[in-house]
Structure 1
């Protein structure tokens, strides 16, 4: 029974990573990390500059993570319904979606930080 599931198309990276991204985003949204010393949270060079940047980065990354999780789960289910077996293309699509989603989350969060904060970590006020 377990081997049958492991070899089915419903056992794929996009579904598992999608669930992980959604849960991670939901947990960080409900319980935001208090400081950069927390064991969880979105951690990068920019996000750890100031406490305000840390809060903003984690808030935005949690939002993006939930959205990417839903997209990854939908991609995984669609691939599971389209493909009849775990072929090379099936793996390229499901794993590629996870890599692209991860890169998007990091890139977009860093871009948001550079748009809303200056190089010293002070918030840029809209004109």
Structure 2
């Protein structure tokens, strides 16, 4: 049971983001498409934006993933030290996992769009 307490937690979302980033880094989308890669109107405007948007967002999602892993492990450790019921602890962990995912996605999109606008301002 103690092992399960360390597997499920906010750091799990971080590991998922790291895995997704590593896959995209290893197998980047070559051409603009609507299925795979960083897909926004600005990134799909031309091949140059597409390549840079995917490169930048991949590096950023891996960094955010590591931050979530570290924060998640610290939070999980703290939650395991506090005497709460299993249901309350599980609810807190799920809430933090969802919040971590949501905040990371917002950071990813805002930072990548800002980067593309700054880098290619003559194209926008």
TM range (shorter): 0.7 to 0.9
Q: Which one scores higher on RCO, CA 8 angstroms, separation ≥ 6? A: 2
Deviations 1:75-126, CA, capped at 9 Å, x for gaps: 11111100035165444444322211111011100000110113635xxxxx
Quick check: which one's helix share is greater? 2
Aligned residues: 116
Deviations 1:5-45, CA, capped at 9 Å, x for gaps: 3xx36412x22221111111112222210112263211111
| Structure 1 gap ranges (5+) | 122-127
Pick the aligned partner of 1:115 from 93, 118, 123: 118
Please say if 1:41 is aligned against 2:63: no
| Structure 2 gap ranges (5+) | 81-85
Aligned to 1:68: 64
The two structures have a TM-score, normalised by structure 1, of: 0.78
The two structures have a TM-score, normalised by structure 2, of: 0.80
